[in-house]
Every structure is written in structure tokens, then in C-alpha cells.
Structure 1
């Protein structure tokens, strides 16, 4: 199966590095008109320059900024036909005891992982409805289906909330031809945060994790991108409201 997106405008959030960047590279190779966004303006510009994509830096955890960014995409390129929400993550946080979590730490993770997904979907949906079709793919996590290996309470809670949001958005949008799905990656060494987590496991923890994965290897950002492109394709037109674990069989 060869997937092509030559006639599609694709918006990828969280594209400055890691999984988001790999998704952007895969869509670019498949011929998409590609627009990238991220809160990290410097990293975003580097990615966009490297792969030949347009870039709009924005904090999409803010409703007004998320809507303005989507409207800018629509005005310049049309669409978006496909939105991939890869923004989120742990926002540089590490696991801490329950009693030490402050409000700002809690809200920062929810803003990036859940609020941003909702605002982007809210802004893009009218354009997709007008076109009679669309794709929204979110990057969830194994932490949205079970306790998180990071030990970060807000991250596990936010990813569980994102899974619920995907299912609810599917119920609302799929009748208009807009499918909504999520990919839930296993542990992928794709950015400085996951590298620190990997090192913190130590040799014994690393060996234990690999043993728990059916394929006995870690995944790559490219593994996740491949699943995203399938969900975004015409061939996946009757798949909606699904959460696909891409984790080597660990789940």
C-alpha cells in the first residue's frame, strides 16, 4: 500500500523534534503541503528549514493563539485537510511525590496535551466540515491506557483525558466525514526527555523494559509516523474513535 497526500494540506503540531518531526518528514515524503507548529520557535524553524515545510510558531494551549494559527493555515494553504496533534509530552517534568505537585506543573501538562488538542480540533473542524472530509490524529501514549512509566501524575491523567477526547470528538465529527483517532506509542527514545528517562532506568531497568516488549526492541519515531499516516489516509476512511497501541506488543 502506497500512501500519498499530494493534494492535502497537513498541519502537524509539536513538530520541532522527536515524534512530531518524524511525522512531518513522513508527510513531506508523501507529497503533502505541510505546515508545522510548535511552542519552540527555534527548533521549529530548524525542522521546517531541514525538510522544506512552512512553520508557524504558537502556544496552542491558548485558545486564541490556536484558532489564529489554524486560520492562518487556512487563509494561505486551504484546509487543513489533516491535523496531527503531536504536541504535548511532559514539559520537562520528572516524577515527583503526589504531595509535591504544584498547580502550575499540573496545568502546564494539561495545557499542552489536552487543551491544545481541543482548541486545534475546534478551530479545524469547521473547515473540514465545509470540505465534507477530514482527518484528526492525536499522539496519545501508553500512559493514557495504564499508569505511566514516568511517574508523572499529570502526564498519565492528561493522556487518559486525551484518549477520552478522541472518542468524544469522533462521535461528534465522524458523521461529517471527519475521522478522529489516536496512536499510543510505547517507549520511544526520540528527544532529550526520553533520553534522560532511558538513562535513569539504568542497565537493569532497560533490560527489563526490553524483555517486556514482544519484539524485544524499542520503537522508533518512524514506527509511530507510519501508523499516523495510515490513520490519515483515504484507506482508513471507516476507522474512527480508535486508539492504536504502537508499542511492539507490550500492551
Structure 2
């Protein structure tokens, strides 16, 4: 299968490390004009360096609707949007009674509102072209439970999957597909590294034994799934959730 993106403008959020970086670099390697954003300027600079300047980076808080609109005015029309920004915002699992309103909202802002605002901003350009791809990166936590025990994270990722399905039906008549990649546990960033080490050897082995492939995946595995959803070969696939988790 020949997947290429020459002439396509791609925007990847949360691209300072992990999945977002791997996705941005994969698009650049396949000929796309890539824009990458994150709140982490230092990590973005490393993504740009690793791309040999093929990825254009800028800082952006995707939960800020006005800033998102201004960013899309600067980039111009986007053909492929990857809503990867998300995560737990430095939080750890705690009892429900210990969760503050701000803790809850912070995770929803980046994982759900960010995906909504970004999609809202790029859709007019996609409609004008009669084509487009939106790929949301959720999590196995959105289909089941979160290994972290963070209530807002599991809830936000489930909400993002619901948004994916709803937008697929709204935007399909305009030639725009909307799909979702749900990664399993991957050691791809500082947060997942802390989670991995916190499990201890017994917990690590238990996690691996619950995976059909009996091994962890990589950020490139997630990028490969995104490449497929973004490709011409996936033109009649929309509203779908692809679990990339080694098999459960």
C-alpha cells in the first residue's frame, strides 16, 4: 500500500513528544506540509530539529478557542487534522471525593474541548475543498477504564470517541472523514514512563501478559494507524475507533 501526502497540509496537536511527535515526523517523511503545536515549546523545538526543519512548529493551548482560531488563520486551510493533544495534566489517581472542579475541567479542556475547537476551526476550509480528514487520538481508557484511575481521563476519552462518531455523520456529506485511534499503554512520554516504573516488576509483567502480542508497542505503531486513516485508501471509513493495543 503506497501512502503519500504530497501537497497536503497537516496539523498535529500535542506534538512535543510521544505520539504527536511520531505522527508529525511520519507525515513529513511521507511528503506532507506539517504544522505541529503544543504548549511545550522546548519539546516542539526538538520535534522540529528531528524533522530537519520539515515540520513547522508553534505553541498553542488547544483549550483556548480564540487562540485556536487565530492559529488556523495563520496556517491557512488544513487538509488533515490530528487531535493528539491530551493526557492527564500531571494528575494522579485519587478518590472521587478528592477531585476539585479545576482538576476535572483541566483534563476535559485539553482532551475534549481542544479536539472540538480544533475541528471547528479547520472544518470551513475542508468544506470549501469538499474533502478532509480528522483523526482523534483517544485511549483504551475511553473504551474501558483508565489504568491511572483518573476519573476525568477515562470520561474525557470516552467523550472524545462520542464526538468522533457525531462529527463523522455531520461532516460526511462534505467529504470529510472523522476517525479515532485508541492506543493501549505505550511508553512514549514522561508521564507513561512514570506510570511504568510505578507499576513495579510484577505490575509490568501483569500488563504485558494481558496483551495478546505479549509486548508493548511504540509511538510509531500509533503513527502508522493515523497514516492509514489519513490516506486515500481510507476514504470510505468514518466514525470508527481503531484500538492499537497489541490485542486485548
Same fold (TM over 0.5): yes
Q: Which runs of 5+ in 2 are unaligned?
A: none
In structure 1, distance between residues paired with 2:89 and 2:73? 26
1:105, CA displacement in angstroms? Answer: 0.9
In structure 1, distance between residues paired with 2:218 and 2:72? 29
Which residue in the other structure is 1:108 paired with?
Answer: 106
Which residue in the other structure is 1:220 paired with?
Answer: 218
TM-score, normalisation: structure 2: 0.98
In structure 2, distance between residues paired with 1:156 and 1:232? 25
1:49, CA displacement in angstroms? Answer: 2.7
**Aligned: 1:149 with 2:147:** yes
Q: Alignment length, in residue pairs? A: 246
Q: Which runs of 5+ in 1 are unaligned?
A: none
1:96-175 equivalent positions in 2, closer than 5 A: 96-175=94-173
Which residue in the other structure is 2:12 paired with?
Answer: 12
In structure 1, distance between residues paired with 2:82 and 2:141? 19
1:85-96 equivalent positions in 2, closer than 5 A: 85-96=83-94
Where 1:56 maps in the other structure, the secondary structure is: strand
In structure 2, distance between residues paired with 1:48 and 1:68? 21
1:41, CA displacement in angstroms? Answer: 1.7
TM-score, normalisation: structure 1: 0.97
In structure 2, distance between residues paired with 1:48 and 1:84? 17
1:50, CA displacement in angstroms? Answer: 2.3
Which residue in the other structure is 2:23 paired with?
Answer: 23
Q: Name the Cα RMSD after superposition.
A: 0.7
1:6-85 equivalent positions in 2, closer than 5 A: 6-51=6-51, 52=53, 53-74=55-76, 79-85=77-83
In structure 2, distance between residues paired with 1:56 and 1:207? 39
